[in-house]
């Protein structure tokens, strides 16, 4: 079972773990062209996220007024991380596409906030997750691997 998500470093490690899981599961989740491009994108994104988790804004968010203004410190951060953790644990305990999409959506919100205020972070991770969610949410009337 995953460990508790208590800070932004833990959050980024959980996102990295989800992205690795998605990459391994991509043959049953996505169409072939998206799979190929996703794999290449993750080869770039995961090392960048690993590097960025050491960023001062991530390690010491309370030292940055911008992080506080973005709701990434104190009780605002605690609320977001607890909600993300709940969905993360639900996905790990119960599985399922709905749980995966829910945890990705919550992660996307936090990544968006980080990307707006942490220098050098940008929106790459949030946008990558947005496209993953969109691909997972394709109309099920189409020929899609997850049709039930």
73 contacts 61 by C-beta, under 8 angstroms: yes
pLDDT of residue 2: 58
Q: Read off the pLDDT of residues 20-39 as tens digits, 9 standing for 90 and up.
A: 999 999 999 999 999 999 99
Tokens coding 134: 């969109």
Output the average pLDDT for the chain: 90
pLDDT digits 0-9 by tens, 43-95 = 999 999 999 999 999 999 999 999 999 999 999 999 999 999 999 999 999 99
Residue 141: per-residue pLDDT: 43
Structure tokens at 9: 């470093």
* Domain boundaries, given as residue ranges, for the chain: 8-136
Q: 12: closest CA among 44, 39, 48, 63?
A: 48
118 pLDDT tier (thresholds 50, 70, 90): confident
Q: Residue 148 above 50 pLDDT? A: no
Helix residue spans in 53-96 (DSSP H)? 56-59, 65-69, 74-94
């Amino acid at each position: 079972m995953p460990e508790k998500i208590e800070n932004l470093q833990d959050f980024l490690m959980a996102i990295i773990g989800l992205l690795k899981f998605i990459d391994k599961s991509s043959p049953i989740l996505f169409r072939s062209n998206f799979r190929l491009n996703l794999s290449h994108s993750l080869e770039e994104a995961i090392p960048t996220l690993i590097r960025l988790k050491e960023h001062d804004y991530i390690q010491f968010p309370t030292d940055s007024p911008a992080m506080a203004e973005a709701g990434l410190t104190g009780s605002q951060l605690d609320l977001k991380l607890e909600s993300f953790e709940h969905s993360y644990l639900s996905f790990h305990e119960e599985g399922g596409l709905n749980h995966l999409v829910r945890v990705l959506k919550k992660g996307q919100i936090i990544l968006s906030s980080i990307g707006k205020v942490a220098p050098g972070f940008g929106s790459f991770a949030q946008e990558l997750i947005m496209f993953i969610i969109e691909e997972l949410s394709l109309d099920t009337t189409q020929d899609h691997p997850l049709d039930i």
